Chains A and B, each alone.
Chain A
Amino acid sequence: MKRLGALKIMRSLRGVMMRYVPLMITCRQFEDFIIDYFEGDLPARQKFEFELHIKVCRECREYLSAYKRAVEVTAKATDIEVPDRGLPEAPEDLVIAILAARKAVG
């Protein structure tokens, strides 16, 4: 019970610090900046604040790592490289249908 109370106080203090200390941003603001950070569109000051928040906030730091990992896994698991070789041939009836349709259209 005491530990829970201490954790609650710490979170409250951290929330106050992130709202009122210069150059600190809240976790919600951090969330809003994520996409622009990855796109390289954050202005210098906001980028500094974003990277400072990563250093001081365990939750956002780990969230961001998991977020990035999810993006990497998405690309890897869905074979984003379209190979020129190695794929099975398209069904023959599809190829025939395409060529026939091409002839019909002229």
Chain B
Amino acid sequence: MSFSQDKESGSGTFKTFNSDRAIAEALSQGSDKVAEEFVRQNSPWMLQVARRILHEESAAEDCVQEAFLSAFSKIDSFENRSTLKTWLHRIVVNKCLMTLRSKRRKAEEQIDDLMPQFDEHTCRIEEPWPRLLSADEICEEKELSEFVRDSIFKLPEISRIVLQLRDIEGWSTAEVADALEISESNVKVRLHRGRSALKNLLEPMMRGHLS
């Protein structure tokens, strides 16, 4: 990430930085111009991340604002072990998780109806799949992509969050366990249940019945 300086015009905008460490130092020193560019460059993707998790525009904007304030106050702790963007990504996701925790939630809904079924001989009951649409075929259709996103939000909250953090945000099992304060084995169980339920919800579409 770098910003360019218009030396000729003398407008005195901001310096050229060749590393995240240099940007962090400029922010730590309180540069208003660097802070503004930092916010303008990063707020679009941070808002997109927050929207994915919270599914609510005003809550997403609040989280992004809190994430930036947290980043500014902790900028001295940025150690360059990851990129500045990765560091910011963790902050905004954690803010979103705090928002979800603070909301009064309904009791975890059961998703047993969406789980795989087995007969009395412990054999799986699964209708044959003569056709299974590819991911490209599905995502090319705007309505089908929206169907996928809406289906994700039908999952119970904890399973949804685990699935989003692992399969969408790309966090490791250990990182998700740490953020949600649950064990790694619990993360795996919830992830598998979330994926199984989602497979069930997406089944009519993947079989080509909705295209």
A36 to B: closest C-beta gap in Å? 7
Within 8 Å CB of A66, what residues of B? 129, 132, 199, 203, 206
A69 CA to B205 CA, complexed, in Å: 11
A14 CA to B15 CA, complexed, in Å: 71
- For the complex, count residues of A whose C-beta is within 8 A of B: 53
A18 CA to B124 CA, complexed, in Å: 12
Prevailing SS type, chain A contact patch: helix
B interface vs A, CB < 8 Å? 32, 35-36, 39-40, 43-49, 52, 61, 64-65, 68-69, 72-73, 85, 89, 116, 118-119, 121-126, 128-129, 132-136, 138-139, 144-145, 148-149, 152, 163-164, 167-170, 173, 188-189, 191-192, 195-196, 198-199, 202-203, 206
Extra 17 A-B pairs, beta carbons < 8 Å, given A26-B123, A90-B43: A15-B122, A31-B116, A34-B192, A35-B191, A57-B124, A62-B132, A70-B195, A74-B163, A77-B138, A80-B170, A90-B39, A94-B65, A98-B69, A99-B35, A99-B39, A102-B68, A105-B72
